[in-house]
Amino acid sequence: ASIYSSASILGRLVSFLMNLHITPRTIWLTRHGQSVYNTRGLLGGDSPLSRAGIGYADALRCFVRARDPAVIWTSTLQRTIQTGRATGRGCLQIKALDEIDAGICDGMTYAQIADRFPSVADARAADKLRYRYPQGESYEDVIRRLDPVIMDLERSQEPVMVIAHQAVLRALYAYLVGQAREDCPHLSIPLHTVIELR
């Protein structure tokens, strides 16, 4: 098993190095506009944008026109798709960019989780990186599923905008700026903000 694991790691490293280039380019990261679930403090779901979220999507259209990214990537959830569509550009929907799966806690507030599932709230507070929601995901799961996305970002020679979700963008941002994996779940990625990386 350890030989297979080493070979697998070596294979991924070789593939990464073959696709690495030094062409300067810009990557923009932004969360979707505020969703109806955001206004209620609810986790996950697939709710549409709120009025404020629609306003952000409209403002993002002006930003996109001025910067002209070659491609815009979104998750497959409607709040990112709505945000991307508002830019007036074609968007590539990527399932790996979907928000962390909160499992049995999907659609709940953190207060409701603490009330109904205190052991879940305590375990996640103790180790947010590794804790997996029951029937859901951990940050480590999200980081693993982003491997192909990161490879595509490394391969890209043109500007890319990624419209996604907090956990996903925390993981991408941590990778792109060289933050420690343990810091990833605690990075600030606010709504209605574009992060520009060159």
Burial 94-111 (b: 16+ CB within 10 A, else e): bebbbbbbbeebbebeee
Residue 87 is encoded by which pair of tokens? 């830019």
Distance of CA 8 to the CA centre of its chain: 25
Catalytic residue among 12, 19, 25, 38: 38
Catalytic residue among 19, 79, 154, 198: 79
Residue 59 is encoded by which pair of tokens? 């403002």
Catalytic residue among 158, 165, 170, 186: 165
99 noted as active-site residue:
yes
Catalytic residue among 19, 99, 154, 198: 99
Catalytic residue among 31, 124, 137, 170: 31
List alpha helices for the chain, DSSP H: 2-19, 36-40, 51-67, 78-85, 110-116, 118-126, 139-145, 147-155, 166-177
Q: Are 1 and 161 in contact (CB under 8 A)?
A: no
Catalytic residue among 32, 124, 137, 170: 32
32 noted as active-site residue:
yes
Beta bridge partners of 197: 27
67 noted as active-site residue:
no
165 noted as active-site residue:
yes
192 noted as active-site residue:
no
31 noted as active-site residue:
yes
Catalytic residues: 31-32, 38, 79, 99, 165
